[in-house]
Structure 1
Amino acid sequence: SHSIRDFDNHATRIVGKYETVDTYYRRCSSSTYVQSVSIPLLCISALDDPVCTREAIPWDECRANKNVVLATIKHGGHLAFFEGITASSLW
């Protein structure tokens, strides 16, 4: 595969029995639940995340819910955020 989307199209959607990769993304996304968040929620997302891309962020849904704060940063990848000026640790 050349990308996550390509992998999902050729493997994940087939195993999950979804008609298209977009159907898989839509049905498995947590974005449909954002409107129902009733307690304060902080979402942190790196804009260079190769798995949860910036296109997948539910921007409008987050803006519409006063209980949701969406914080984005330029770099961080998928599961790591560097800490400190020397980036000697991750969190």
Structure 2
Amino acid sequence: MPQFATTFGSLSSTVHGLVVSTILIPAALSSFFGGHLANKVGRLRGIALGAAVFGIGAAAEASSVKLGMLIAGRAVKGIGEGLFLSTCVV
């Protein structure tokens, strides 16, 4: 995508892998706490909290102007994803 390359530059394969895995690793780690959160506040509120964190990360990622901000937004999205997906599946 030319707009992506204009904003963030050309990414090496290592950086591209880092950007992709930034959402996966926090999701895997935060999924351990999704059940505990659902027990504390209830399933619906746990899912809503995870979705809200995901939305905050999506807003940060969508408004990013530097690569670090994009990676941070994806990490926040991963935390939210782990919280709501682990609760939805159970």
Whether TM exceeds 0.5 here: the answer is no
Considering only CA atoms, is the larger Rg found in Structure 1 or Structure 2? 1
Which structure has greater strand proportion? Answer: 1
- Greater relative CO, 1 or 2 (CA 8 Å, sep 6+): 2
